[in-house]
Structure formats: structure tokens, C-alpha cells
Structure 1
């Protein structure tokens, strides 16, 4: 799975980091970012929930085969 975070749309709500703390964190400015080495979600079942939890839909997921 490929995870994209729209940095222009992100408002720093932190819902992604709460839902999937093994994949998402917040940078020094409070915006969503991926934990280094976890850019593909690494099979974490909470990644989809993190994307759904984003109040501004800044996270998109796609299958790399698409």
C-alpha cells in the first residue's frame, strides 16, 4: 500500500497518529508525517482507519499495483 499525505491540506489534528502510531507521527510543526521506514504502512491494519479519521481527508491510500 502506498500512503500519501497532502501537506497542504493537513491541519495537524493528529488523528492519524492516534489511530496508527506505528506508521504516523507529527513533525516539529505538528503536521502529519510518516515514520521513517514505514512509508508503505507495512501491513498495519490501522492505516485505513487513520486515513478515515483525518478530518480534512489529507491521507490517501492506494495499491502500488494500480
Structure 2
């Protein structure tokens, strides 16, 4: 799977960090860093983090190019 975060849209609410702390991290108070290609074993955590983003800054899809349909 692949994750893309629109860092211009991200407001550092950190809901993704709370739900998938192995994937998303805050550096300081506002700088989000993340693993762009997490292991599929983390899919449920990532899907929850995508859904929880209040500004819909996170998009997730499969690496084979097929749209996952989960974006937020």
C-alpha cells in the first residue's frame, strides 16, 4: 500500500498519530512525518487513520496502481 499526505492541507491534529503511531509521527508540534509504504499488516490501522483525518489530508492506495477507494 502507498500513503500520501498533503502536507499543505495537514493541520497537525495528529488523529493519524494516535491511531497508527508506527506509521505517522509528529516532529515538534506541527511537522508530520510518515512511512509512505507501510506493511500490509498495518492496513486496518492506516484505514482508521485515513478516516479520522479531520481535513482529509491522507490518501491511501495499493502499490499495484489500483485505487483503494479509501481517501480522507
- Say whether residues 1:40 and 2:37 are aligned partners: yes
- Which segments of 5 or more consecutive residues in structure 2 lack a partner in the other structure? 66-72
Deviation string for 1:30-65 (max 9, x for gaps)? 23221xxx4312120200100100000100001111
- Aligned residue pairs total 63
| RMSD (Å) for aligned C-alpha atoms | 1.3
TM-score (norm 2): 0.78
- Which segments of 5 or more consecutive residues in structure 1 lack a partner in the other structure? none
